[in-house]
Every structure is written in C-alpha cells, then in structure tokens.
C-alpha cells in the first residue's frame, strides 16, 4: 500500500492537536527515523545518545519528551540491533537456538518458527533517531504510540476508515518495540498493534494497561483524519463529554455530537428498574438500538 507523504512541518499540522484531543493519549507520540547513510546520521540535528541503553529505553525517553539519535554502539540489546538492521541475523537466531535459550518455547521448532516471523530490517542502517513526533522537522518513517487498548482500537478504526482492512497484524509477545512497533510497520507499510514483550515491560516499567500501535507516518496522518471522522459514530456520550472538556481546555473547535453513536448512547437508554428482566427491555434500547454495526 502506498501513501501520499505530507512534507509540511509536523508541528504546524492543525490535524494533530484535534486528533490527540480525541484520543486522550498520556504519552508523547514517537517518530522514528532511519538513517541509511552515515553522512545523513551525522548531519541530523537530533541530540546524540551519550550512553548505552536498550532500544526500548530510548523509545520510553521519547514518550516522555526527550529525543535522541544513536548508532549501533548506543543500543545495548542484541535483539534490537538485529531487528533494526545494525547487524545481520546469524545462524543461531535463524535456527531458533537463540530464542529456545530464553525458555519461552516448548521446543526448538516452535522457537525457529517464531524467529522466522520476527520482522527484520531488509537493509543495513547507519543510525536511528527516536523523538517526539511534534519535534520532528521532517516526516519520520514510522510513528508509534504507547496507548491503552481503547486508544489502540480508535487508531485501528481511524486507519480502516481511510484505507480499509490492513494486512494481518503481528503480535507475538517478543521484541515488541523494536520488531513489532518499529520494523514491522516500516516493511509491511501498514499499521501494526503490539502487546509489547516481557523484556520491554520490565525494562521500561510500562503499565499493565499499556500496549503499542504503529504505522508509517503518512498512514498515521490519514488515520488521524479517520479518528476524527469516526469520533461521533464510535464514542459514547460519556466519552464525548470528556473529549469536549479537553477541547475546551485546548481552545479547539471540534465537531462533537451527543447521541450519534452507531450503538445506543447510554444517555438515551431509559432507567432500568431493579426487578426488570433483560427480556422485558424494549427492542429500541438494545445494544445497537435496532441498528447493525
């Protein structure tokens, strides 16, 4: 799938604050830029990483508002170096022996099959920049959000509103940040949702309620239009009141219409007495208010 790439400075894009208001994300959205030439890496104005850390930790810094760039020397995790294209996969990985040694698979064959499905960069890179999307001066290759399940759903709905169903998404609970949320959207040119992995949950102390959603930059900007385009059909009246309050606080003019969800808005449902059985409920107040999703 191909997307039109808007080269306008991201910070000036008026779509972003409205979509972020609708989503209610609590962390910065991340922009990831790959450098395939050392000269481009050196020329980037993004602040270089001064110490060695995992790619997960680098991404966590960006969710807190701190952008950095690094080459292979700054990435401590061998799995991330391999997935991102700093080093090629070796026979230990391809055979499944590396994954089998982690104790996560019942036998070598399960480990080998899993390794074969992990997304790897198809070409070597010289470096990578990971920073808040709002600070990107040029469109990054990948945009990712650490979010809760409802926010992930809304991003998927926004993407499908614009493009239709994506290719099958991959979430294997292994290499969540580097492979599933960075490389997979880049090589598949489509959205992906990740449940993260045990390593990144431990290293970065993500909340149990957090997961990740990522896609190419141009697809992301279109998906934000889809998030706004589906707001009234998808969100409950209760959620719309929260979004409207955020919009007022941010001085944003947004189209928010109560009572317009495709299912029965909670405020439109009659009060149910304590002794009323489900069978006694009016068909007009059933889950989808007489309408099919």
Contact present, 100 and 93 (Cβ < 8 Å): no
Structure token digits, residue 216 = 């190419």
Q: Are residues 134 and 164 in the same domain?
A: yes
> Residue 33 forms beta bridges with which residues?
129
Q: Which tokens belong to 13?
A: 């894009």
Count: domains in the chain: 2
Each of the 293 residues of the chain gets a pLDDT tens digit; together they read 433 334 444 544 678 899 999 999 999 999 999 999 999 999 999 999 999 999 999 999 999 999 999 999 999 999 999 999 999 999 999 999 999 999 999 999 999 999 999 999 999 999 999 999 999 999 999 999 999 999 999 999 999 999 999 999 999 999 999 999 999 999 999 999 999 999 999 999 999 999 999 999 999 999 999 999 999 999 999 999 999 999 999 999 999 999 999 996 555 544 444 444 433 333 333 334 444 44
Give me the count of residues in the chain: 293
The phi and psi torsions of 70 (rounded to 5 degrees) equal -155, 160
164 domain residue, yes or no: yes
Q: Are residues 28 and 129 in the same domain?
A: yes
Instruction: Let me know whether 199 and 281 are in one domain.
Output: no
In a domain, 293, yes or no: no
d(CA 183, CA 28) in angstroms, rounded, equals: 19
The pLDDT tens digits for 55-107 are 999 999 999 999 999 999 999 999 999 999 999 999 999 999 999 999 999 99
Residues 180 and 125 in one domain: yes
Helix (H, G, I), strand (E, B) or coil at 293: coil
Same domain, 138 and 281: no
Structural domain for 262, as ranges: 235-270+277-285
Q: CA Rg, the chain, in Å? A: 21
> Pseudo-torsion of CA 245, 247, 251, 254, nearest 10°?
-130
> What is the rounded distance in angstroms from the CA atom of residue 59 to the CA atom of residue 68?
9
Same domain, 149 and 227: yes
Q: Distance (Å, rounded) from C-alpha 110 to C-alpha 100?
A: 8
């Amino acid at each position: 799938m191909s997307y039109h790439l808007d080269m306008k400075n991201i910070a000036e894009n008026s779509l972003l604050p409205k979509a972020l208001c609708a989503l209610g994300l609590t962390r910065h959205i991340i922009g990831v830029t790959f450098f395939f030439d050392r000269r481009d890496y050196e020329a980037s104005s993004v602040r270089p990483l001064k110490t060695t850390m995992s790619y997960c930790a680098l991404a966590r810094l960006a969710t807190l508002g701190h952008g950095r760039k690094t080459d292979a020397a700054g990435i401590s995790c061998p799995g991330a170096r391999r997935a991102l294209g700093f080093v090629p996969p070796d026979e230990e990985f391809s055979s499944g022996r590396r994954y089998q040694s982690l104790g996560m698979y019942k036998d070598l064959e399960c480990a080998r099959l899993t390794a074969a499905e992990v997304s790897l960069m198809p070409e070597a890179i010289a470096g990578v920049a990971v920073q808040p999307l709002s600070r990107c001066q040029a469109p990054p290759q990948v945009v990712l959000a650490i979010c809760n399940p409802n926010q992930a759903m809304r991003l998927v709905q926004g993407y499908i509103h614009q493009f239709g169903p994506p290719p099958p998404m991959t979430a294997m609970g292994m290499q969540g940040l580097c492979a599933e949320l960075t490389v997979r959207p880049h090589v598949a040119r489509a959205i992906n949702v990740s449940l993260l992995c045990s390593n990144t949950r431990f290293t970065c102390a993500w909340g149990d309620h957090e997961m990740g959603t990522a896609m190419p930059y141009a697809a992301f900007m279109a998906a934000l239009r889809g998030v706004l385009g589906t707001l009234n059909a998808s969100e409950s009246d209760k959620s719309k009141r929260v979004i409207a309050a955020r919009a007022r606080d941010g001085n944003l003019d947004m189209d928010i219409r109560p009572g317009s969800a495709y299912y029965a808005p909670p405020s439109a449902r009659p009060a149910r007495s304590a002794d009323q059985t489900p069978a006694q409920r009016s068909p007009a107040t059933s889950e989808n208010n007489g309408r099919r999703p």
